[in-house]
Structure 1
Amino acid sequence: MESLPQLLSLPDELLQEILLRIACPADLARASAACIAFCRFIADPDFLRRYRSRHLPLLLGFVGQGVDKGFHAVEAPHPNAPAARALANVTFDFLPPPLKNWYIGNVCDGRVVFECFRHDDDDYDNIIGIDAHLAVWDPSSCSRQNLLLPPVPHGQDLQYFEAAFDPCAHKDDESLFRVISVMYYRTKLVVLVFDSDSNSWTIGTSASWDALSLSNEGPWQFFSLPYYAYGCFYWKIDDENKLLKLDIRRMEFSRVNLPPDHEEHNVVVVEAGEDRLGLLSYNPNDGKFLNYYNSMQNEDQRTKEWQMKKAIPLLVNDEPRFFIAHQGCIFIQADSNILNTKRTTIYSLDIKTLELEMFR
């Protein structure tokens, strides 16, 4: 009992640092309930931001690209396997049927946004209907675990749409979130914004294909998935050595140069620290390495310079698929030979250490 007064007599900066080192959120909650002074520190939005950045959410499992395949908890010997058992029986029965029409759009801070498309039963790659419906699943939340968003407003000639969370929104209130939806029309792109605080959609910006110097022959043929870094989304433009950039604060489009000879490369854009972009590049004509680049400081963002930092060996048999999470990891799915057996394998790549680990 004598240690608590001594602890409270410490300088505020040192006491906050001690509280920041509590790794388990449940232990932090108990500390907040036990002491008014601790509660004052822990409830402060700046403290919560620092705590979330230091203690990333546990990796508990994954959902296949098709939601009808269900949730797959991590398996032993993964260290998070015991914690993942709580989600082993998760279902998605809150989604309007059929489940085969629902797909993962984006993952951020433990939340998942699902997108709905109708497919031709005889040709599954052929999208025959776009309902523009979205749903958010938050397995870590007790109050708003499942939420169907209001239908996304759209016009008659909508060809495709995709959605992603805005990671910078509502940092002071974890119960709120914002979703950015990019709508692909025959003549233009339209950006819509959903805010859970108002439960409504607003128009962010729009641009014609001509203004972006892009073709309109089917947008899904021209872009990668959107990757987020420093308040912006980035898409790789197929057959070009460029990225399309959307600044979601200014709601402005622009183009960014890639390293030379990247017209046919698959790329992933990440945050490299100190406001620099990181770029993971895969050449499907080579297939043996994943190359990592850092952007160099340059006032003109359109003429960004890149420096090759590391070549990461990939032991895969076919072209991998990349899925990014905003907690410092990239997931790579590909067929591999494990103990002379061909199987689909998922790897996790730590963005800071660039270490590759087999996840499943």
Structure 2
Amino acid sequence: MASPLTAIPDHLLTEIFLRLPEPADLVRASAACVPFRQLATEGSFLRRFRRLHAPPFLGFLNYDRFHPALPPHPSAPAARALAVAADFSFSFLPSRCRWAVQDTRDGRVLLHRLYKHEEQAPVFQELVVCDPLHRLYVLLPPVPDDLADSVNHPIPMAPRLRRIPFLVPLCEEDTETAAAEEKAFRVIWMAYSKTKLDALVFSSSTGQWQATESKDWSALVHGMTDKTVMSRTNPLFLSSHYAYGCFYWDWVMIGRKKLLVLDTRRMEFSIADLPPGEWSVEEIAIVEAGEGKLGMFGFHGEFASHLSYTIARNKGKSPVQWQMEKTISLDSGYKYHIRDATERYLLLTKTEASSPEHPLFEYFSINVKTLQLQRVCAKQSRRMYSWTHIYTNFPPSLASRTI
């Protein structure tokens, strides 16, 4: 008689479960018996499983609303269940304030307070990190006066464009530290002026803000331009992306596009080059191509008929020797825009180039691994959703451990 499955050693069962193709398969396997469920819900196993399997693309958030992926998108059932269970109106937040979505990460949402016209908004507005599924939140303390005063901000542009708060991804290392950090979060607030870049970090473990990296522009751009560049022009940071422990901003300075890089492990700023060629403004996205290599999606021209995907041959935060991997053909006669990107997904919009009064905006996701273009949803409106944020995964903390 064959041995029961429960007689298989745990280390072999772990390897079998890690090779299951979809998270749904792991859920079904864990329901078979108590030992299987104990193994499948153990913290170190789940961290390994998440590294090997992309979290589900569930939809996207804009200003104050969640747009779930609709059929025939493969994530539509999970997205529909999340839309019913979670509170994306954020009614559980302090009612004395109006809040707007600033960033999303690992199922959590970062929001900033909206101020009325007659109110005097502080240099650093109030922030809150919440779990919309379990209706829990953490109101971040204000940035201390001494830290706020140390940040020079004389650039004459909207405050939200020169102070950028964002969530940092969870620790990915399979250690006890990672298990502790899974129940914590960090927020980085990048502030820039004509003379320097600053980064302030909030850790939920300590409940405090700390000053970390401060970089003079003259040192950062040394060797690529003269020292008077920052007195002649303001830097313009466009969309930001995260890959392999670093944040990347596509950055326009004196008509040239570069990548501004923030290494969140060392908290160091640096500059990297884009692949050769003319890339459309606001139409690039940095992703994880696998094996520690960066990938980049980008458009050439306003009415692009294809989306280019290039991969850096080297590993590391400073990509070199970019190589064209694939060209994704798109329907002609339409405008396409990259709205957001995560490590493993891209969000595109498609609309008619003729621009009717109420055009149909279609939203598509692209899986970086498969490069499949899948329709998320569509909306007929005068304008597309602005400041969209891809929502993936379910909050891994603030609740009992589940798959």
Question: What percent of counterpart residues are identical?
Answer: 31
Counterpart of 1:172 (choices 138, 157, 179) is: 179
TM-score (norm 2): 0.72
Q: Retained in 2: the 8 A contact 1:116–1:131?
A: no
- 1:10 alignment partner AA: I
Per-residue deviation at 1:322?
Answer: 2.3
Q: Decide which of 128, 138, 146 is 1:147's aligned counterpart.
A: 138
Q: Residue 87 of structure 1 aligns with which residue?
A: 83
The offset of 1:54, in angstroms, is 3.9
CA distance in 2, matches of 1:304, 1:333: 29
For 1:115 and 1:216, the matched residues in 2 are separated by: 30
Amino acid of the residue matched to residue 138 of structure 1?
Answer: D
Instruction: Quote how far apart the aligned CAs of 1:283 are.
Output: 2.4
Please name the residue that 1:75 is paired with: 70
Structure 1 residues 336 and 133: alpha-carbon distance in aligned structure 2, compared to 1, 3 A threshold: farther
* 1:252 partnered with 2:268: yes
**Contact kept in structure 1, 2:102 and 2:166, CA below 8 Å:** no
Query: Residues 71 and 90 of structure 1 are in contact (CA less than 8 Å); yes or no, is this contact kept in structure 2?
Result: yes
Q: Does structure 1 retain, via aligned residues, the 8 Å contact 2:311–2:325?
A: yes
Q: TM-score, normalised by structure 1?
A: 0.79
1:72-130 deviation per Cα after TM superposition (whole angstroms, max 9, x unaligned): 2333444444442452464223156663x62333x222222223465879xxxxx9875
Distance 1:129 1:284 in 2: 39
Residue 297 of structure 2 is aligned to residue 280 of structure 1: yes
* Partner in structure 1 of residue 45 of structure 2: 47
Residue from 123, 130, 137 that aligns with 2:130: 137
Aligned residue for 1:259, secondary structure, equals coil
Contact 2:294 2:315 in 1 (8 A): no
Partner Cα separation in structure 2 for residue 246 and residue 350 of structure 1: 25
With over 3 angstroms needed to count, the CA separation of the structure-2 counterparts of 1:317 and 1:135, relative to structure 1, is: farther
Match of 2:205, SS state, is coil
Distance 1:23 1:235, change over 3 A: closer
Aligned counterparts of 1:262 and 1:308: Cα–Cα separation in 2: 14
Counterpart of 1:71 in structure 2: which amino acid? F
Residue 95 to residue 189, structure 1, CA distance change in 2 (3 Å): farther
Decide whether aligned partners of structure 1 residues 267 and 74 sit closer, same or farther in structure 2, where only a CA change above 3 A counts.
closer
Equivalenced residue count is: 339
| Equivalent residue for 1:232, pick from 227, 246, 261 | 246
Name the residue aligned to 1:124: none
For 1:161, give the aligned amino acid. Answer: R
Question: Structure 1 residues 188 and 95, CA, compared in 2 at 3 Å: closer, same or farther?
Answer: farther
**1:184 is aligned to 2:184:** no
Cα distance in 2 between the residues matched to 1:195 and 1:298: 29
Q: What is the CA-CA distance between 1:279 and the residue it aligns to?
A: 0.9
Counterpart CA distance in 2 for 1:195 and 1:98 is 23
C-alpha contact 1:272 1:294 (8 A) present in aligned 2: yes
The separation in 2 between residues aligned to 1:48 and 1:303, in whole angstroms, is 30
1:358, distance to aligned residue in structure 2 (A): 1.5
Alignment of 1:1-360 (within 5 A): 6-20=4-18, 21=20, 23-24=23-24, 34-35=34-35, 39=38, 41-42=39-40, 44-64=42-62, 66-67=63-64, 70-83=65-78, 84-88=80-84, 90-93=88-91, 94=93, 99=98, 102-105=100-103, 107-116=104-113, 118=115, 130-140=123-133, 142=134, 145-153=136-144, 154-155=148-149, 157-158=152-153, 159=159, 160-169=162-171, 171-173=178-180, 174-213=182-221, 215=230, 222-238=236-252, 239-262=255-278, 264-265=280-281, 266-297=283-314, 304-315=320-331, 317-318=334-335, 320-326=337-343, 328-336=344-352, 342-360=359-377
Give, in angstroms, the shift of residue 207 of structure 1.
Answer: 0.7
After superposition, the Cα gap between the structure-2 partners of 1:303 and 1:148, relative to the gap in structure 1 and judged at 3 Å, is closer
